[in-house]
Amino acid sequence: MKSLTQSLEKVGKRPPFTIPGGFHTCPPSILKLVQILNAPAPDLDTLDHKMVYDFSEKNPQGIAYAYTDVWFLSAETNLFKYSIKGPNLFNPIVRRLKKKSLSTLIAASDITMTGHKFDHIGGISWFDGLLFASVRDKGSKEQHIVIALNHNLDLVGYSWLARGTLDAWCSVNPWDRLLYMSVKDSAKYFVTYDVSAYYGLLDQPDKWGKEVPISLTGKKFYFYKQDRKPDEVTSVQSASFSPNGRLYVAWYVGHEVAGTTTRWTNHIRIYNALTGVRLDDKEYDFAGVGDEIEGITVHPSGYIYVAVADNDVKPGTDEFELHAFKYRDPTQLM
């Protein structure tokens, strides 16, 4: 195995250099760090792809792998718990376990609704017993929230987000346990929230449904191109951190007709989670009428699952599609 110094040189880091401070984010062990630094570069052209499941649902949004065979999905006004299993996740056995509406979740909180109108769930993320979901407030106060739920889709609590934080998605990075979000449609960096207060509530259901104050940390995840110049991502739909040190970002370019987006150019982009350097980007044309990429999540086996909204012409007839990807080269999975 290469030394730590040799491994750092592969990503342009030379002494003096601090660990973990010199990285955007860092795994908990030096051994894991060295493995990630020496991993082969990902190549999205080597991904096999297949649509594995679909169902009718208005405005699909997010997907998050949780544990064993449990996954969570989000749509505009509903959250779902699913069992997705099988030795081959290109041909899974899919079964819905539970559905809960946004209105039911908000009703379980102590939020005073005056001035608020919560009408849209965004992307979701599961970490260590909690499902986080961003929720849009289109009321007069226009300050969005993030909610946290347990494995049974019971509301643990909610938090007001800083003004300017977008409601499109959220994602927990397991390395630093922070919640990552966007502040602009065209993102040059992600901001982070400390959500550790939620974990002290998991075994105290008598305290659920109340506000859990969280605040922005000073930590930002900046994007860079291969030449180390600043990078930018347009219209981020979701993001997911993989166990092998990559940040997968689902994003699109919208094409408008008379002020309405009717077509989406969809992309998956990969960044190095250690350095923020872009590793790859690929456009995908999913076979739908108005296919729009939404959520993205990474399974421990290496499968990448993407939620796609097939935005049909008639209102309320959208299809929620699940697409599976897997690298042909197993060494890319570590």
Task: Look at residue 103 and tell me whether its pLDDT is greater than 70.
Answer: yes
Q: 10 Å Cβ neighbour count for 115? A: 11
Average pLDDT, the chain: 91
Residues 114-155 have pLDDT tens digits of 888 999 999 999 999 999 999 999 876 668 999 999 999 999
Average pLDDT over residues 244-257: 87
- Say what the pLDDT of residue 330 is: 72
3-state secondary structure labels for all residues of the chain: CCCHHHHHHCCCCCCCCCCCCCCCCCCCCHHHHHHHHCCCCCCHHHEEEEEEEEEECCCEEEEEEEECCEEEEEECCEEEEEEEECCCCCCCEEEEEEEEEHHHHHHCCCCCCCCCCEEEEEEEEEECCEEEEEEEECCCCCCCEEEEECCCCCEEEEEECCCCCCCCCCEEECCCCEEEECCCCEECEEEEEECHHHHHCCCCHHHCCEECCCCEEEEEEECECCCCCECCEECEEEEEECCCCEEEEEEEEEEEECCEEEEEEEEEEEEECCCCEEEEEEEECCCCCCEEEEEEEECCCCCEEEEEEECCCCCCCCEEEEEEEEECCHHHCC
Structure tokens at 83: 């069992």
Q: Give the separation between CA 52 and CA 94, rounded to whole angstroms.
A: 9
Residues 52-61 have pLDDT tens digits of 999 999 999 9
Q: Give the separation between CA 246 and CA 240, rounded to whole angstroms.
A: 8
- Say what the pLDDT of residue 307 is: 98
Residues 150-194 have pLDDT tens digits of 999 999 999 999 989 999 999 999 999 999 999 988 899 999 999
Long-range contacts at 202-207 (CB < 8 A, ≥ 24 apart)? 202/129, 202/130, 202/150, 202/156, 205/154
Say if strands 319-327 and 236-241 run parallel, antiparallel, or are unpaired: unpaired
Domains and CATH numbers, the chain: 1-38 (no CATH), 42-332 (2.115.10)
pLDDT band at 17 (very low <50, low <70, confident <90, very high): confident
Average pLDDT over residues 311-319: 72
Q: Give the separation between CA 334 and CA 224, rounded to whole angstroms.
A: 24
Check: CB of residue 135 under 8 Å from CB of residue 126: no
